[in-house]
C-alpha cells in the first residue's frame, strides 16, 4: 500500500493510521507528534508548538522581541508571514480577484485556496452522508470520526 501511494498518488502514508502527505518530512513530523509523543515545548512559557520551526518562530517573536518593521509606513509585524501579507496588500497594489464573487486577496495562493474551497467541486465524496472534500486523507478521517469505520478505496 505504501509503495502504491508513493508511486501512483505521489504521497507518503503513515503505517500507523490513515494520514497521507506529499512530503516525507511532514510524515516524519506527523509520526513524531501523533504517535511517538514528541512535543515541541517552549522552555520559557510552556507553549506547545506544532513543529520545530513554529517553536523557533514563537521564541524569536514572543520572547526575543523580533519584529518586522515596514520601511514604507509605520506598520510593524510580529511574524514574517504577516509582514509579507501587509506588504502585498498595502504597498504592491496587487489584488487577485475572484471571477465568481467579490473575494480579493493580495496573495495568489490565498485566491487559489478560496477558489478550491468555495467554488471548486470536491474530489472525494462520502458515500454515507453529504460530506465532500478535495483531500483523500480528510475523507478517511471523516469516515472514521463520524461513521466509525475505515474508508475502503478502489486501491485497497
This prediction has a pTM of 0.49
1 pLDDT above the threshold of 80: no
How buried is residue 82: exposed, middle or buried, by Cβ count under 10 Å (0-12/13-18/19+)? Answer: middle
Arithmetic mean of pLDDT over the chain: 80
8 pLDDT above the threshold of 60: no
Region 136-141: what's the mean pLDDT? 78
Q: What is the band of 116 on the pLDDT scale with cuts at 50, 70, 90?
A: confident
Region 63-73: what's the mean pLDDT? 94
C-alpha cell at 139: 475523507
Q: What is the band of 109 on the pLDDT scale with cuts at 50, 70, 90?
A: confident
Instruction: Look at residue 154 in the predicted model and tell me its pLDDT.
Output: 44
The domain segmentation of the chain, as residue ranges, is: 1-38, 70-119, 122-156
Region 21-49: what's the mean pLDDT? 90
Amino acid at each position: 500500500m505504501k509503495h502504491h501511494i508513493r508511486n501512483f498518488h505521489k504521497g507518503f502514508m503513515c503505517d500507523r493510521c490513515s494520514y497521507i502527505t506529499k512530503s516525507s518530512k511532514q510524515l516524519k513530523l506527523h509520526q513524531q507528534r501523533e504517535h511517538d509523543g514528541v512535543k515541541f515545548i517552549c522552555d520559557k512559557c510552556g507553549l506547545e508548538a506544532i513543529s520545530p520551526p513554529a517553536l523557533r518562530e514563537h521564541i524569536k517573536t514572543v520572547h526575543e522581541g523580533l519584529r518586522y518593521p515596514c520601511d514604507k509606513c509605520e506598520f510593524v509585524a510580529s511574524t514574517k508571514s504577516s509582514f509579507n501579507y501587509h506588504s502585498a496588500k498595502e504597498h504592491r497594489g496587487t489584488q487577485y480577484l475572484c471571477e465568481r464573487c467579490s473575494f480579493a486577496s493580495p496573495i495568489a495562493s490565498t485566491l487559489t485556496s478560496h477558489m478550491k474551497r468555495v467554488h471548486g467541486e470536491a474530489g472525494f465524496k462520502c458515500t454515507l452522508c453529504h460530506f465532500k472534500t478535495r483531500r483523500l486523507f480528510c475523507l478517511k478521517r471523516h469516515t472514521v470520526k463520524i461513521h466509525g469505520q475505515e474508508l475502503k478505496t478502489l486501491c485497497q
